[in-house]
Structure 1
Amino acid sequence: MVLVAKSALAALASRRLAQSSSSLRCTDRRFYSTPTAPTKTFANQDRIERLPIPSLSNLSTKYLASCKPLLPEDEYRRTEEVVKDFVAPGGFGEVLQQRLTEYGKEQKHSWLEDIWLKKAYLEWREPSMINVNWWCTFNDHPAHPKDLLRKPPPKGVLTTFQIQRAAGLISNMLNFKDLVDSERLPAEYMRDRPLCMNQYKAQFGTSRIPGDPADTIRSVHPCLARHVIVLTKGQIYKVDVLRADGSRVPLKELERVLYAVGEDSLHTKPEPGVGILTAGHRDTWAKANKELLAAGGANAQNIETINDALFAVCLDDHSLSKNIDISHRQIFHNDNGRNRWFDKSMQLIVASNGRAGVNGEHTPADAVIPGKIFDYIVANEPAVDPTVSEAEAIALPAPEKLVWTVPDSVKDLMKEAQNTASDLINDTETCLLQTDIYGSRYIKEVAQVSPDAYIQLAIQLAWRRYPTASGEPQGPTAMYESASTRAFLHGRTETGRSMTSDTWAFVESFDNDDVLYDTKRDLFRQAIKSQSAYMKAATFGQGIDRHMMGLKSMIQQPAEASTPSIFTDGAYLKSMWFRLSTSNMSPGKYFYGGFGPVVPDGYGINYAIGKDELKFSISSKRSCEATNSFTFRDALMRSLKDMMILFPKRSEVWGLGWEKERVREKKEQAYLGIMKGLSDAYVEKKEAIAKKYGAHKKADGASAGQQDKE
């Protein structure tokens, strides 16, 4: 067990409240839909409601319910009195509620938006890498050369397929940007309720800017930049991917400029790898940023170029093992934090063996938004050339290497950042679980419950079974998953407090042989009902964690901070010390994602529920003796299997031939994939032929017409 002083715990909890209840991460997609007749991307913004400020009564009821399974009876009774005094007429809670109400009236879009950005992200001073940034590994390319995966190229080289895939992904990213800028991306709905699309405006040209005592976020929509930054061997290049007028170029032209980057990195003097500063402590980076700007040279323009860039592209001259338990680390932190710029909202990463993914800075958006981008860009591989006429076939400018003036003081800070990053990376243990034991089809049709709530119970059961130092089962612990509040203007997320008295009653009963299976099934249904009800309330703005954050931010004087209240009671820390931090990125058809744990003795668990498969990533701290990602993975797999005993056999629901039917479906899907690849290849070749010979045909036709006139 990691031992932390009580005061340090309180400080950490205060800083991490938002992140422990943040979206890291992603949001539940169960209710998302698009209408039959697409609506322009931002057409609904004017009719979306503002996020409501929940009542103190709502806070009292839900807070006490979430604390009950976590506290001994005497502590719970004491907390009841604390809450009663806090929400009483004329009490401290009412004072803070009134201040928050007045503050909300002054805010343009939401009472929460500015508070959330500052408290959840920008005031957080620990490294963004792992603590804030998320990772996402893409499916392999449809035409991925198997030899590149079986026998990766030697370290130090870039490969042709790597550059080709990077060019295709860049092109698909530009396609998606065009959908947003032209408002051809259909507006999204939760059933019939429009969802806020504002986060799509913060995906391109967005950067986190280091500062003291807090960072800032820089984002402009539409982003008019024509370039990306490309990192390779720790060097940073400005690479135009659009012409000066914003028009597109063929894939071959993108490949050409990426090849030029690789060539230049081999034959020019290497610049200091200043990107490592973005992997270190935020105060270290803020200090180094000031000193770089003061050092003169091209530093100021370089930083401006990076911050303005549409996104970053990292061409790694190495590859980790094809084993996904290992290869995902290249996308998460690269095992050393180098060749990255962790402040860009999106870093597209392509390894030398062609494996690809994205590392994202979490401040401007929640993971469901970039998740939709990744669905699009990976589903559309292999990329198809954009429409470009021969008259427009003008070469892009040569890539521009960023040359730095780095004083010795900044070099020392770079070493400090490297040490910080290395310690953090070495302390982070992550493993993946992918199983086709079942998926959403089984959970809906056989178990007949919400797939998301089902997985939440499976994770709690795995936690219960994880052995303690004494060998006894685990007791209840605070657990959350993110609930999207995009039904409200500029909505982000709310915390779904998944650990309830009902869910824990089921978990405790499951391995108790004295409890009848009928009783276990009843407890299971009640637990599902309880968890789903909280998630629904949180989705519609009636959670408690964002409300408590808002109330706490209204404390104006140091003396008020020590006033007896919810925030000074021990239950407050316990109830938001989320040792199980979870995120649903279903269906995750095209990618695998994850994030770091939000407390030192906890787990960060990302999951995706496919039709007939489940994916999990599990992270924890190696320095904590009470956690082990691999052991937890084993407990989770056993729980997923054992929970099937509560339900009918699949043959009783689907019939005796269900297994053959699944095999037939898989073959059909594989066939459709092959046909799509052939179709895409045909379209690509057809367009290439048209470009090459179309002008001649047109000229011949004009000549024949002239002869007829004569």
Structure 2
Amino acid sequence: MPIPDVDDTCRKLLEWSAPLLTEKEREQTNEAIKYFLKEGGDGNTLQTDLIKWARTDGIANWSSSVWQDLYLESRAPLVINSNVFYYLKSKLAADTHSQAHIAAALITSVYSFIALLDTKSLSKDYQKDKPLCMAQYDNLFSSIRIPKQDTDEFKVSSCRKHIVVMHNQCVFKVQILDESLQCKSFAEIKVELESIINEAKTGQNIGLLTTLDRDVWAEKRIQLLGLSTSNQAAMKAIDEAAFAVCLDAEEPEVIEDISQQLLHGNGRDRFFDKSLQFIVFKNGKTGINFEHTGVDGSVMLRLVAHMFDTINVGSDNSINPASDTASVNSNRPPSDKPQSLIFDLDESLAQVLSDSAPKFHQHVANTQTRVLSFLAFGKERIKQFRVSPDAFVQLALQLAEYRLYGKCYSAYEAVMTRTFVGGRIDVLYTVSPDSMTFIENMHSSECDIKTKQASLTRAIKTHITRANECRFGEGVYSHFLALKYRYKMAGKELGLQALPELFNDHGYLALTNSVVCTSTTSEYGVELAGYGPIVDNGYGIRYFIREDSICFNMTSRTAMKSNLESIKFHIEQSLVDMAKLMSHQ
């Protein structure tokens, strides 16, 4: 992935931030850029160091290291602030299959995906005709984000033998592969899950500690591990587990309730540090909560698609019924049966665990979720307008924001960069002079229909141009993030006594403070997906554009509750108004 020219990136900063600034602020940003780029100045110093670092340290992709550091240095709790959820489509009906049955089928399906990875049999991903980097798949399983002071550690194990199962606030280590690395049968796994579900004892709810601020959890984790070797062994079992399965007693039916349970749950039976948590509710609905450090959405969706295609394979009740398997299972050695992981707690840690619950519930109470199921049309109709469906939806989001606030703040769409080795994402900032012209035309009584249509088409072309720039490593955010990273790692050695002023300039801050944070991916195998807002005055919007509908999961802080309701209304109305405009002959 080439490092962009710093002059080009600064030019784009001025251009991309322009619609968000007053004329005076644009002039100030221009001056800040000139100072940053002056001969021998901070910009060229950091750019030279970035190029040198990328070449000499064997970095496959300069941006991937920077993005991973961005995740790991965040001190906020992972739940809501960072982790992402998926609500999965299912081929196994809950009215005919038990919770244990569905969970066992899920585990069997996921292990068949692991087998493809470990035997290097997984076919390559493509974006149209371009092959994509497959490196992120190495981070999917047996991985965890370990809390550390200041910056966390992301750790991947080669262990595949076991998973951890959480139920009734207990944690169990469950062997899935035997000594010859053969996977247990679906029926055997089902019986073991049933034994866990039938366990009457309420556990410690140790996973609640993963909802704390990262520095606090880092300190308490060290304290926890220092209490006993059995604590170290139990934590190692969690760290090295291929993934976690959460068997929830909850039975959410309303879509917003499902969204909330998958995003944060109720404070029980979660371990948010694990890269993958598969959640199976008592009513059979399933989902995923994943930690973002090692993987992005496009990789997750490949796993989800595999699960959707294979979850019903080999899980028919007529095959190896539980009654036939129980006797086989009972003959297994004790080490091969579900093992309860119990931690030794001193009085101090027991109090921390007790105090964590109200903090978690306060965090949850500060988060609002709304789901918009837009049924009037989807990508099929948008394509009839001869425009990009994604760009059309993004423009509707801007129009909705303008109708709510009377202006547009910075909006963010994640764009995949996996066409490069080690690629992650870059940030497409969607507000442009052309999108603002369209919005102004939409609200002008003096503007005719043809002009409005032309301005919509022009704004969409600009959006696509920016998306392609980001896709091919020519965006703004990742490059500036890398320059800031080099200041953090080597600034003093480079003679820089303070972070360059450009990063405190109003233009840079206005662009990078994304009030509307959005993303979309393939919706195959997925009903819904979402995450929390990335700024306190903003919205987290994840959407899927289906053939005949569009689904939005939207979150905000509770202080923004009325605005969240309003923007939901305006998104729906904006989509209708834009379709009506483009339908005029």
Normalised by the size of structure 2, how large is the TM-score? 0.93
Map residues 132-151 of structure 1 onto 2, 5 A cutoff.
132-145=82-95
Aligned counterparts of 1:532 and 1:107: Cα–Cα separation in 2: 34
Q: Secondary structure at the match of 2:82?
A: coil
Q: What residue number does 2:298 align with?
A: 368
1:429-468 to 2 correspondences below 5 Å: 429-444=368-383, 446-466=384-404
Matched, 1:607 2:543: yes
- Partner letter of residue 190 of structure 1? Q
1:411 aligned to which of 350, 371, 376: 350
Residue 399 (structure 1) aligned to one of 338, 341, 355: 338
Cα deviation, residue 514, structure 1 = 1.9
Say if 1:588 and 1:610, in contact at 8 Å, map to a contact too. Answer: no
Conservation of the 8 A alpha-carbon contact between 1:297 and 1:404: no
Alignment of 1:167-566 (within 5 A): 167-220=104-157, 223-263=158-198, 265-266=199-200, 268=201, 270-320=202-252, 322-334=253-265, 336-384=266-314, 395=329, 397-444=336-383, 446-466=384-404, 473-555=405-487, 556-557=491-492, 560=496, 562=498, 565-566=501-502
Q: Secondary structure at the match of 2:559?
A: coil
**In the TM superposition, what whole-angstrom CA distance separates every residue of 1:491-544 from its partner, at most 9, and x where no partner exists?**
101111111111111122213222111111111011001111001000000011
Q: How far does residue 85 in structure 1 lie from its aligned partner after superposition?
A: 2.3
1:441-471 per-position Cα deviation (integer Å, ceiling 9, x unaligned): 1111x111111111100111111112xxxxx
Count of residues in correspondence between the two structures: 569
- Counterpart amino acid of 1:441? E
2:415 partner SS: strand
Contact 1:271-1:404 at 8 Å conserved across structures: no
**Deviation at residue 337 of structure 1 after TM alignment:** 2.3
| 8 Å CA contact 1:126, 1:281 repeated in 2 | yes
Which of residues 92, 101, 106 in structure 1 aligns to 2:42? 92
Q: Are residue 637 (structure 1) and residue 569 (structure 2) matched? A: no
Relative to 1, partners in 2 of residues 1:561 and 1:499: Cα closer, same or farther, differing over 3 Å? Answer: farther
Shift of 1:195: 1.1
CA contact (8 A) 1:379 1:590 kept: no
Q: Cα 1:544–1:385, aligned 2, differ >3 Å: closer, same or farther?
A: same
Report the residue type matching 1:488 in the other structure. Answer: F
Give the whole-Å Cα distance in 2 for the aligned partners of 1:534 and 1:643.
Answer: 21
Aligned partner of 1:323: which letter? V
Unpaired segments ≥5 residues, structure 1? 1-50, 147-159, 467-472, 653-710
In the TM superposition, residue 635 of structure 1 has moved relative to its aligned partner by 1.1
The DSSP-based 3-state class of the residue aligned with 1:628 is helix
Q: Is the 8 A contact 1:284 1:417 kept in 2?
A: no
How far the C-alpha of 1:563 sits from its partner, in A, is 6.3
SS in 2 for 1:298: helix
Structure 1 residue 82 corresponds to structure 2 residue 19: no
Distance 2:309 2:94 in 1: 14
Q: What is the alpha-carbon distance in structure 2 between the residues aligned to residue 529 and residue 307 of structure 1?
A: 46
Looking at structure 2, the residues matched to 564 and 258 of structure 1 have their Cα atoms a distance apart, in angstroms, of 55
Secondary structure of 1:127's partner? coil
* TM-score normalised by length of structure 1: 0.77
Q: Is the 8 A contact 1:277 1:284 kept in 2?
A: no
- Mapped to 1, the partners of 2:256 and 2:216 lie a distance apart of 31
User: C-alpha deviations, 1:387-427, integer Å up to 9, x for none?
Assistant: 99x99x96462200011101111122223432332111101
Aligned residue in 2 for 1:155: none
Q: CA deviation at 1:360?
A: 0.5
Q: Which runs of 5+ in 2 are unaligned?
A: none
- Name the CA distance, whole Å, in 1 between partners of 2:347 and 2:550: 50
Are 2:47 and 1:111 equivalent residues in the alignment?
no
Equivalent pair of 2:146/2:153 in contact (CA under 8 Å): yes
- Larger gyration radius, structure 1 or structure 2: 1
Q: CA deviation at 1:629?
A: 2.3
Structure 2: how far apart are the matches of 1:57 and 1:174?
A: 48
SS at match of 1:112: helix
Q: What is the one-letter code of the residue matched to 1:608?
A: F
User: Residue 250 of structure 1 contacts residue 385 of structure 1 at CA under 8 Å; is this kept in 2?
Assistant: no
Runs of at least 4 residues off by over 4 Å:
385-388
Residues 568-583 of structure 1 aligned to structure 2 (within 5 Å): 568-583=504-519
Q: Residues of 1 paired with 2:583 and 2:280: CA distance?
A: 45
**In the superposition, relative to structure 1, how do residues 142 and 508 fare at CA in structure 2: closer, same or farther (>3 Å)?**
farther
The percent of aligned pairs where both chains have the same amino acid is 30
Q: Which amino acid aligns with 2:396?
A: A
Between the aligned partners of 2:66 and 2:29, the Cα distance in structure 1 is 26
